[in-house]
Structure 1
């Protein structure tokens, strides 16, 4: 199977003026990524609206099939590239709940899957969002099994291990990691990739936004724990290859999944 060229859009730096500005930035990034051979583009957490929204979260939240989703679908189809993007999702059937979500659409513009952040970080998120209760969200992009988590989710080893056991080969993690937690992309993300034998694509925001200062340092870590691409502190578009064969080789070389003894871990749940 051919490697999947994957792009990570780090940014934006500061809150975008409008959702329309974010969609224009996404269109430009999709064009640039596709020109470099990428077939998948991942953005940061809450990319469409900005992260530091305060009480505006409910105002800016949209359904997963809302007007902004239609615009993203058109961008994906126009450039022939799958897109995973963060946004605040309103679900009226769930008591008008608002979720911190990521939506993955295919290169034809068709929705593949939506994931809602399960582990909410800090008082702001716990006040603004309802936690998701679906542990696994997966889809296939060009033959590669892609899974979704959001930011703080990846810091829970159980969440990533569940993906590994379910066959995820590439884990996309839209992120809004602020300083001083730079050790997460520097140490923890490569470790998660290694201990689960998978590629992990961690797409962060960057720069100051409201009370937060986002760390950047987006990366794509391989299943052997090596970082294939790393961003700095500012806006950046990373492009690197995800090889499914490397997943199989890593899991054979370091068989953590095969050597597990789950009967010993029952006390964890």
Structure 2
């Protein structure tokens, strides 16, 4: 499967403008023959929206998500992007996965909240989102989630061959995409696609450096600090090849690690 990762600035608080940007990037992904487009954390609303976050939130069956489904259907491109989800009185930092036919495959709620997110969002229960897209079993995490090895290992043990990560990484943390994301791919022998925001939003600067990493830890595509569209082919055979020499998942001894889970 060919995947595209869009590193974008987005428009803070302007959902209509971000839907227009989504449509533009979906067309670009289609032109690149990518079957899936991954965009950043809270792409639909903007990330650094402070006290207006709740007002921008909408349910999974809301009008903006319906428009995104129309875009997926029109371009024949599956979409994964972040949005503020309203569910009753709760607001979640969420990511929605829509297939190329415009069908919602699932919604993931960020489990590990970072900084002021703890005041703006309820934490997700950690329920995994996995789906088959283009012959590849994919799992979804959001930003800070990928920095916890247990979260990625859980998806790998569920059979995921790729983990897709919308993110809004602040500037000054190049070791996250440069080191940690590569380690997550290597230690689980899976693909990891990491889609960051870039530029500034209401005084918050973003790192950028979005990347797609192979199951051998090799970077297949990487961005700098500016807007970019990354494209790479994710072949399930590469996962099998990585595990021929050694297989971290098969060689685990969980009985030795039980005390680590409390």
CA distance in 1, matches of 2:134, 2:106: 15
Residue of structure 1 aligned with 2:61, choices 54, 59, 65:
65
CA distance in 2, matches of 1:98, 1:183: 30
1:49 aligns to 2:45 (yes or no): yes
1:81 aligns to 2:74 (yes or no): no
Aligned partners of 1:5 and 1:241 also within 8 Å: yes
CA distance in 2, matches of 1:251, 1:101: 32
Residue 7 of structure 2 is matched in structure 1 by: 10
Aligned partners of 2:12 and 2:48 also within 8 Å: no
1:90 aligns to 2:83 (yes or no): no
TM-score (norm 2): 0.98
Aligned partners of 2:171 and 2:208 also within 8 Å: no
Residue of structure 1 aligned with 2:178, choices 183, 186, 193:
186
CA distance in 2, matches of 1:57, 1:249: 44
TM-superposed deviation, 1:17: 5.7
TM-score (norm 1): 0.95
**Secondary structure of 1:90's aligned partner:** strand
Aligned partners of 1:135 and 1:159 also within 8 Å: no
TM-superposed deviation, 1:252: 2.5
**Secondary structure of 2:250's aligned partner:** helix
TM-superposed deviation, 1:134: 2.6
Residue 255 of structure 2 is matched in structure 1 by: 263
CA distance in 2, matches of 1:185, 1:228: 13
Residue of structure 2 aligned with 1:126, choices 118, 128, 150:
118
TM-superposed deviation, 1:251: 2.1
CA distance in 1, matches of 2:242, 2:134: 21
CA distance in 2, matches of 1:17, 1:255: 45
Q: Bigger CA drift: 15-24 or 68-77? A: 15-24
Residue 26 of structure 2 is matched in structure 1 by: 30
CA distance in 1, matches of 2:192, 2:174: 16
1:238-257 matches, within 5 Å, as 238-257=230-249
1:196-207 matches, within 5 Å, as 196-207=188-199
CA distance in 2, matches of 1:199, 1:130: 29
Count of paired positions: 261
CA distance in 2, matches of 1:206, 1:11: 6
Q: Bigger CA drift: 102-111 or 16-25? A: 16-25
Aligned residues: CA RMSD? 0.9
CA distance in 1, matches of 2:190, 2:79: 20
Residue 113 of structure 1 is matched in structure 2 by: 106
CA distance in 1, matches of 2:243, 2:107: 28
CA distance in 1, matches of 2:155, 2:215: 13
